[in-house]
Structure 1
Amino acid sequence: MRLMLAQTDPVHADVAANLDALDGLCQQAVAAGAQLLALPELALTGYNVFERLDELADEGELIDQVARLAHQYRLHLLFGLAQRQADGRLTNSAVLIDDAGTTLACYHKRQLWDREHQYFIPGDELCVVDTRLGRLGLMICYDNEFPEIARALAQAGAEVILSPTANMVPNAERQQLQIRARALDNQRFVACINRAGIEGELHYCGNSLVAGPDGEVLGRLGNDAGVLVVDIEHSRIDESRSHQDYLKDLRALPGGNT
């Protein structure tokens, strides 16, 4: 699988402008031979839009517009957005659409951070989905900091874990450490798609990266907006596990927890 991470600096609260930018990113992805284009957390509105979430939250139309792009460019697309649920409450979600324009998954962030508790409800479900690119697991930002989530995704069969993120200065090195640890501990690929730029008092740290099953960094961006293309070779998972297989060797802890 050829994966493109788009470390964007979205136009604050301007969905139309960010959709136009996504069209251009799709063209870049096609030119690079990518099969999956992944964007950051709340990629089409910006992250620091809490007071405007009622007007910016998607009720389906935005997903439909992105699905048309996925179908047009024959790309799998992953992106973050605020999503209004049937009961009117909001979730911080990551949506995966395949290259036919079909929505494969909507994952709702489990671990809410800071002000997010005031505006979003947390998700309860893990998300692992079978695709023709492999078995993909989804996390979002603060989820990265809880090793239990990546472990549960790996135990559910995820081969590649993707995490749209909006992480801030000064957390670039901490982010790299956590993503590499999630990959190494579970012998899986883990990709963190962070954003760049400044929104009000929030200064994002970029440094999106992909880590391989042995914890090595396969690619990493700097602070500024840009794209990163990485080839994911699924056979490397079995190669890593041929030396030691952490999930197979893991013994249950007292009480039945692993």
Structure 2
Amino acid sequence: MRLMIAQTAPQRAQIPHNLDELEALCLQAKEAQVDLLALPELALTGYLIFDRLDALAEPLDGPLLTEVARLARHYGLHLIIGVAERTTDGIYNSAVLLDDQGTLLGCYRKMQLWADEHGVFTPGEAPLVVDTRLGRIGLMICYDNEFPEVSRALAQQGAELIISPTANMVPNAKRQQLQITCRALDNQVFVACINRSGQEDHLQFCGNSLVAGPDGEVLAQLAEQPASAILDLDLSRCQKSRKAQDYLRDLHPRLKIS
């Protein structure tokens, strides 16, 4: 699988601008023969939109995701991107996975809400792993990275690659790297954290997006500014890393998800 992580600096509430940036990244990804393009948390609206959610949040069949699906189909890419999802039950901080035909394969709703998110978003209820032609992909979002239980649940459901759209802030870059490499090593899977860059009011985002392999090694890492990285992942390495010791197999039965 050829993965492209795109560390963007979306402009708050400027959806047309952010969509233009997405399309430019799609073109770059297509030219590089990328299979899967992944962007940060709330990448189309900006993060600090809590006072504007009523205007910015949309259902999955709304015009914003319809346009994202068109881009996925037009450029022949699988896409993962963070969105503010409106439902009859509330508004969720979500990550969607679309295939290269623009079909919505899955929508994960962030379970571990952070700080002021509790006042505006509804927490998700379940982990999500999607079986795609590229491999089994699990989703988590930002603060989920800091809870080992989330990635462990995804690994027990068969995830080979965990993608985490993120909006993590200064001074958390070193902690982010430690957590992502640990999530990969503990579960013997690939983990990609796509953090954002830039600033919104008092929030300075720290970038430093990274991809870690199933032995905990850093395969790619960006700096603080907007950038992207493309790398080829051999998902069979997940099984190879379990030859010496297999943490999921050896996990005590009381800790396993039935």
The two structures have a TM-score, normalised by structure 2, of: 0.97
Query: Partner residue of 2:23?
Result: 23
Q: For the residues of structure 1 that align with 2:165 and 2:203, how far apart are their CA atoms?
A: 17
**Alignment of structure 1 residues 3-82 onto 2, 5 Å:** 3-59=3-59, 60-82=62-84
Shift of 1:32: 1.5
Q: For the residues of structure 2 that align with 1:48 and 1:242, how far apart are their CA atoms?
A: 44
Cα RMSD of the aligned pairs, angstroms, is: 0.8
Corresponding residue SS for 1:130: strand
Aligned partners of 1:210 and 1:230 also within 8 Å: no
Shift of 1:86: 2.2
Structure 2, unmatched stretches of 5+, are none
Q: For the residues of structure 2 that align with 1:196 and 1:32, how far apart are their CA atoms?
A: 23
User: What are the superposed Cα offsets for residues 81-105 of structure 1, whole Å, 9 maximum, x if unpaired?
Assistant: 1110123x10000000000010001
User: What are the superposed Cα offsets for residues 31-79 of structure 1, whole Å, 9 maximum, x if unpaired?
Assistant: 1111100000000010011111110101222111100000000000000
Picking from 241, 255, 258, the partner of 1:257 is: 255
Q: For the residues of structure 1 that align with 2:247 and 2:126, how far apart are their CA atoms?
A: 24
Query: Partner residue of 1:164?
Result: 165
**Alignment of structure 1 residues 79-228 onto 2, 5 Å:** 79-87=81-89, 89-228=90-229
Letter in 2 for 1:45: T
Aligned partners of 1:184 and 1:214 also within 8 Å: yes
Q: Bigger shift: 188-197 or 243-252?
A: 243-252
Q: For the residues of structure 1 that align with 2:109 and 2:201, how far apart are their CA atoms?
A: 25
Letter in 1 for 2:218: V
Query: Partner residue of 2:246?
Result: 245
Q: For the residues of structure 2 that align with 1:32 and 1:219, how far apart are their CA atoms?
A: 17
Q: For the residues of structure 2 that align with 1:153 and 1:257, how far apart are their CA atoms?
A: 14
Q: For the residues of structure 2 that align with 1:130 and 1:226, how far apart are their CA atoms?
A: 28
Q: For the residues of structure 1 that align with 2:28 and 2:111, how far apart are their CA atoms?
A: 32
The two structures have a TM-score, normalised by structure 1, of: 0.97
Shift of 1:145: 0.3
Percent of aligned positions that are identical: 63
Letter in 2 for 1:233: D
Q: For the residues of structure 1 that align with 2:230 and 2:50, how far apart are their CA atoms?
A: 31
Q: For the residues of structure 2 that align with 1:138 and 1:186, how far apart are their CA atoms?
A: 14
Letter in 1 for 2:88: A
Shift of 1:195: 0.1
Q: What is the aligned length?
A: 254
Shift of 1:257: 3.1
Structure 1, unmatched stretches of 5+, are none
Q: For the residues of structure 2 that align with 1:111 and 1:73, how far apart are their CA atoms?
A: 33
Corresponding residue SS for 2:215: coil
Q: For the residues of structure 2 that align with 1:163 and 1:4, how far apart are their CA atoms?
A: 13
Letter in 2 for 1:53: L
Corresponding residue SS for 1:115: helix
Letter in 2 for 1:43: A
